[in-house]
Amino acid sequence: MSKASKVSKLKAPKPPKVIKVPKPTGTAYQPDRPLEKNPLIHAQVRHFKEAEANLPEHQKTGIDIATIRTEGQASNYIRQVTKALHQRGARPAPKVETVG
């Protein structure tokens, strides 16, 4: 069997299955809702604090996460840290020594 005939017998890969994700309800984000009622966002705030700790001092928010009490405050904090992380950009690739 020639290479050309083998290639023609190959089937194209099936497209991935589409998973429909419902839109969030109008009550999904409530800026005044206490953060303690949303453990997911509370965990995200803690993760962003860890990421912020790696930023240079001039890019840190100065926000004590213990003072964040609402989803709106959490949203603002996450937005600020995300902006700082994006400004920092990707880390440079490590230098590799060449032999020879």
Quickly state the pLDDT bin for 87 (edges 50, 70, 90). Answer: confident
Is there a domain that residue 50 lies in? yes
pLDDT at res. 32: 96
Helix-helix angle 39-52:71-88, to 10 degrees:
30
Is there a domain that residue 23 lies in? no
Q: Which residues pair with 34 in a beta bridge?
A: 70
Is there a domain that residue 1 lies in? no
Is there a domain that residue 95 lies in? no
Q: What is the pTM of this model?
A: 0.66
Total tally of structural domains belonging to the chain:
1
Is there a domain that residue 100 lies in? no
pLDDT at res. 62: 96
With residue 58 as reference, give the H or E element that holds it: none
Is there a domain that residue 38 lies in? yes
- The pLDDT of residue 53 is above 70: yes
- The pLDDT of residue 7 is above 60: no
Query: Do the Cβ atoms of 60 and 52 come closer than 8 Å?
Result: yes
Quickly state the pLDDT bin for 42 (edges 50, 70, 90). Answer: very high
- The parent domain of residue 73 ranges over 30-89
- What are the E-state strand segments in the chain? none
